[in-house]
Structures are given as C-alpha cells and as structure tokens.
Amino acid sequence: MALQKSEAVILKKFNWSETSRMVHFFTRDFGKLTLNDRGGRAFKTKRGRVVPFCRMEITFYKSEKETTGYLSDSEIMEAFTFEKDGSLGRLAYGSAACELLYLLLPEEEAQEALYNYFLSFLRLVNSVDKHRLPALFITFLLRTLSRLGYHPSLAYCVGCRKEFNGLDKKVGEAYFSPERGGFVCPSCQKPGEYYISLSAGSRRLLAALQTASLNEAAALPIGYDEAAMLIEVLSKFLSYQSGISSKLKSLEFLDKLKKSQPGD
C-alpha cells in the first residue's frame, strides 16, 4: 500500500465496529474518499483527532486492490467553530452543505475548485451575521449543483429559451418545473404538468443568487419564509434530476431555526 497525504474535510462518518469507523472525506487531491479509521473510536489513540468542520491534513494508505483505504494520521489545520450568534443555524447550514456533497460527489474524482469553494463557504458560515446565512447557503447550493452538472434554468424559459426579464412584468408570476429543470413561460407550459408558482421577485432573486459570489450573497439578507420556500424549490429540482430524496436530513433544521430567530 502507498502512503499518501491530502487536505480534507469530513463529510460523514459512521461506526464500523467497537473501535473503528468509516469516514467519508472531501479531499483536495482525490475528491470524495472513504477511509477506514481503525481504532478511531478508542479513547486511547496515537493518531490525531478526526473532527467535523475542520480543514485537516490526513495521511492514509490506499491500495489499488482494495476499495477502502486506511487512515494513518490527521492534523487539524483550520477549525470552523460556528460559535458566533446563531450557532444552531451555522451548524445546520454547514451540515447541509456536507450532506449535499456526500450525496452528489462521485467517488475519488478530484474536484479541487469545488473543494476550495466549499472551504470559502465554511469560512463565511463561521463569520458572517446570522441573517446573511440563508442567501449564502442558497448560493452555495445553486453553484454546487451547477458545478456537478445540475444547472436549473432560472433566467430563461427551459422550453423556448426566452429571457424572463421581459416576461416578469407581463405575467407577474413564474412557474418552475422540477422535472423539466427550470422556469417555464406561459407559452411552453403543458396541461397536467406539475409546477411550483413563485413571484417574479423570487424568480429574480434565485437567478441573481445563481451567478453571485459567496461574498455577494452574504451581503443579502433574506427572510426565513422566503429562504425556506426557495430551498424547497431547489430540493424538489434535485429530487427529480438526481433521484436524491427532496428532503435532505440536515435541512430539517429550518423549523427549529425559525423558532430560534427573531422575526424577519
């Protein structure tokens, strides 16, 4: 077995035996990588800690003959503590991002640009005002979907490719088809097809967040109700396009988050 190193962030881990666990990492050099953390559950271990929401340097053994490698050591390089005001929301948004990547990333396919983008997202979740978190997460969700081949059509009709900016004033509402992958103008709508109705303002907001940088998104305060509605739209899109359940478990924080925050 060859000994290798990479930067990494934990996406998910689960117990494998009384003393060991399986850990799914997002690594800078190898993409999503699953490693057996032998003895990682034991109280006495000589290796470094394997901690969620940390940028780590991991050392591991990987064999071409085996599907799963073995973690040798780890060192924390940067920790995202989510200790600022609104820690529940920060933890939930960070967890949702990890879950999304765990579900969508292919195994052992390098995604260095997306890895760096993920780190930028975690740094902002750790530092921005809590009211900026919804827009930040929606932009991360949109841009991650696009980077991995799931690109919803938010500015143009998915049928005729007509730009929606000229239609917003005439129609007043926009209709999103999760199955067809985007908004559909009145001329291209089909009887009996499932649509989600949004206001023209919500459509424009989604389209703007799709092209925004994380820093630009973090400057936009979005109310809880609108954020929840937009995330629900994108979750249903993801369900139709990828087969992944429309309810990401980490997004169940939304109701708790609403109760923990002051009114919009």
Tokens of 222: 């979005």
- pLDDT for 117-148, tens place per residue? 999 999 999 999 999 999 999 999 999 999 99
Rounded Cα distance between 187 and 66, Å, is: 54
User: Where residue 18 sits, what CATH number does that domain have?
Assistant: 2.40.50.140
31, 109 contact by CB (below 8 A): yes
Task: Calculate the CA dihedral of residues 95, 256, 216, 31 and round it to 10 degrees.
Answer: 10
Residue 52 near residue 92, CB atoms below 8 Å = no
Mean pLDDT of 54-69: 85
- Tokens representing 117 are 């983008």
Q: The pTM is what? A: 0.90
Nearest-CA neighbor of 52 among 86, 19, 21? 21
Inside any domain, residue 73: yes
* CA angle (229 as vertex; 223, 235 as ends), nearest 5: 130
Q: How far is the C-alpha of 132 from the C-alpha of 219, rounded, in Å?
A: 6
Identify whether 2 is part of a domain.
yes
Identify the burial level of 59 via C-beta atoms within 10 angstroms of its C-beta, where 0-12 means exposed, 13-18 middle and 19 or more buried: middle
Cβ neighbours, 10 Å, residue 129: 12
Cα distances from 99 to residues 39, 146, 176, 186, in angstroms, run 25, 16, 24, 35
pLDDT > 70 fraction of the chain, expressed in percent and rounded: 84
Task: Name the domain count of the chain.
Answer: 1
Name the band, by pLDDT with cuts 50, 70 and 90, for residue 111: very high
What does the pLDDT look like over 141-200, one tens digit per residue? 999 999 999 999 999 999 999 888 766 666 678 999 999 999 999 999 999 999 999 998
Query: Taking 90 as the threshold, does the pLDDT of residue 245 lie above it?
Result: no
Helix (H) or strand (E) holding 229: helix 224-242
Q: Is residue 33 one of the residues assigned to a domain?
A: yes
> Residue 9: inside a domain, yes or no?
yes
- Is pLDDT larger for residue 74 or for residue 42? 74
Whether residue 259 lies inside any domain: the answer is no
Residue 4: which domain range? 1-79
In a domain, 1, yes or no: yes
Q: Name the strand (E) or helix (H) holding 3.
A: strand 2-15
DSSP track, 176-190: EETTTTEEE-GGG--
Q: Is 252 helix (H, G, I), strand (E, B) or coil?
A: helix
Residue 116 lies in a domain: no
Residue 36 in domain: yes
* Mean pLDDT to the nearest integer, 27-50: 75
